[in-house]
Amino acid sequence: MEFNGDFFNLPESYLFAEVADAVSGYEVLHPDKRVLKLSIGDVTLPLPPTVVGAMRSAAAETGDKKTFRGYLPYEGCGFLRESIKNYYKSMGADVSADEIFISDGAKSDLWNLPDLFKRGLTALVPDPVYPVYAESNVLKGNRVVYAAATEQNGFLPMPDYGVKAGLIYICSPNNPTGAAYTPEQLQEWVEYAIKTGAVILYDAAYESFVRDGKSARTIYSCAGAESCAVEICSLSKTAGFTGLRCGYTVVPKALKLNGVSANKLWYRLKSTCFNGVSYVVQRAAEAAFSAGGLAEIKKNTGYYMQNAKILSGALSRCGVPYWGGKNSPYIWLKCPRGTDSRGFFKELLNGAGIAGTPGAGFGAGGEGYLRLSSFSDAETALEAAERLENFYKTHPISAF
């Protein structure tokens, strides 16, 4: 027996595991210093009262014979699928409840989605981007080609008809760069997919951070997207569910290949690989999409966007080139010339006690950049802003 050799084509550690290790190492050596963790995009606000109340009620139900529930539908509970359908409606998108599949988070579905398609496919993945798109395809023996996201294209690559790919990954608002497509730009991707017979996997995990009224929140605001695009979303950032685990994936019935519906095959796959999301978590998610819940979580995302303003304000004052932070909780800043992103990560950790995430961890195209997350508490963001201003005093901006 042998292991899957493609493991040895991956970086040895998953990016965020690597960063966590580096930070722990620093903390052991400097027990007196407080590290400001602006690295992994983890929320810090507690879950809102509506969500916690629903979860506690659901927990009580599980202890009573009259209300106990065992296995739940593989695809998720009807009550939650209906809530999400209405959430899409509020964005002007028409998605039916039986096109929505509840997951334990976007990552699990992103991992499994390539299995729906022919092995050996070519995946077009933006560079830089959330590492799971490429890593899942590498481990499944697929080919990965990259669409360069650069300063020149505003970190928003557009279709290139010279490139042939079966799966097209789009993440908007983007992790890590914070760049967000407009519906008009996404429409070009939809047309490209339709013309080339490709399928788009659209990661909308950060849609609730769109603030400019112009950027897209769902690919289903594009004509024809229902025939070529799967949308993956998560409550992790929208509702603070990073530790609770709930997401959803939309697989439209109109998305067909050779007359077979992707919706039907995805149900077959999910029923083979998954036994549904915890009941208490599905009730918590339903509460997050209630009127009261939506108001509470909007307040929380607003809080994080205020942090983004504080951090980007400091960078602006220091003259540091950066992107994002406007429709996204992430700020993507440029490292001083000649410093690679892992080097700058260490420099900022040692020099200012701030942990970011090295851009190169998101792909070769991320080299020379660092991601800061605004999911901290306000005090941490304020202190980080101050430390950044001090740090740049001794690190000449002329180096950019």
Three-state secondary structure call for residue 247:
strand
Say whether residue 98 binds a copy of itself (CB under 8 A): no
Three-state secondary structure call for residue 66:
coil
Instruction: Report which of 282, 276, 265, 218 is spatially closest to residue 113, judged by C-alpha positions.
Output: 265
Say whether residue 243 binds a copy of itself (CB under 8 A): yes
Residue 278 exposed, middle or buried by CB count within 10 Å (0-12, 13-18, 19+): middle
Residue whose CB is less far from a copy of itself, 91 or 116: 116
Residue whose CB is less far from a copy of itself, 49 or 319: 49
Residue whose CB is less far from a copy of itself, 76 or 368: 76
Give 160-203 as a 3 state SS string: CCCCCCCEEEEECCCCCCCCCCCHHHHHHHHHHHHHHCCEEEEE
Residue whose CB is less far from a copy of itself, 51 or 335: 51
Residue whose CB is less far from a copy of itself, 119 or 337: 119
Q: Least Å distance between CB 199 and a copy of itself?
A: 5
Say whether residue 59 binds a copy of itself (CB under 8 A): yes
How would you classify the pairing of strands 199-203 and 167-171?
Answer: parallel
Say whether residue 25 binds a copy of itself (CB under 8 A): no
Binding string, residues 345-374; x marks residues near a copy of itself by CB under 8 A = ------------------------------
The Cα-based distances of 211 to 182, 247, 327, 377, 379 in angstroms read: 12, 22, 5, 20, 23
Distance, CA of 247 to CA of 233 (rounded, Å): 6
Region near a copy of itself per CB under 8 A, out of 153-161, 181-189, 201-209, 253-261: 253-261
Tell me which of 22, 23, 35, 45 binds a copy of itself, using CB under 8 A: 45
Say whether residue 12 binds a copy of itself (CB under 8 A): yes
Residue labelled with tokens 């208490």: 280
Tell me which of 107, 217, 342, 371 binds a copy of itself, using CB under 8 A: 107
Region near a copy of itself per CB under 8 A, out of 24-32, 154-162, 277-285, 314-322: 277-285
Residue whose CB is less far from a copy of itself, 297 or 320: 297
Tell me which of 23, 35, 139, 148 binds a copy of itself, using CB under 8 A: 139
The Cα-based distances of 19 to 13, 40, 108 in angstroms read: 9, 8, 21
Distance, CA of 142 to CA of 397 (rounded, Å): 42
How would you classify the pairing of strands 369-373 and 330-334?
Answer: antiparallel
Residue whose CB is less far from a copy of itself, 280 or 381: 280
Tell me which of 90, 272, 306, 316 binds a copy of itself, using CB under 8 A: 272
Instruction: Report which of 81, 83, 85 is spatially closest to residue 103, judged by C-alpha positions.
Output: 81
User: Footprint of a copy of itself on residues 171-230 (CB under 8 A)?
Assistant: 197-199
Tell me which of 128, 159, 276, 324 binds a copy of itself, using CB under 8 A: 276
Q: Least Å distance between CB 284 and a copy of itself?
A: 8
Tell me which of 30, 33, 34, 56 binds a copy of itself, using CB under 8 A: 56
Assess contact for 365 and 146: CB atoms under 8 A.
yes
How many C-beta neighbours within 10 Å does residue 397 have? 12
Say whether residue 63 binds a copy of itself (CB under 8 A): yes
Distance, CA of 123 to CA of 143 (rounded, Å): 6
User: Footprint of a copy of itself on residues 223-242 (CB under 8 A)?
Assistant: 236, 240, 242
Assess contact for 349 and 26: CB atoms under 8 A.
yes
How many residues of this chain bind a copy of itself (CB under 8 A)?
Answer: 86
Assess contact for 35 and 353: CB atoms under 8 A.
yes
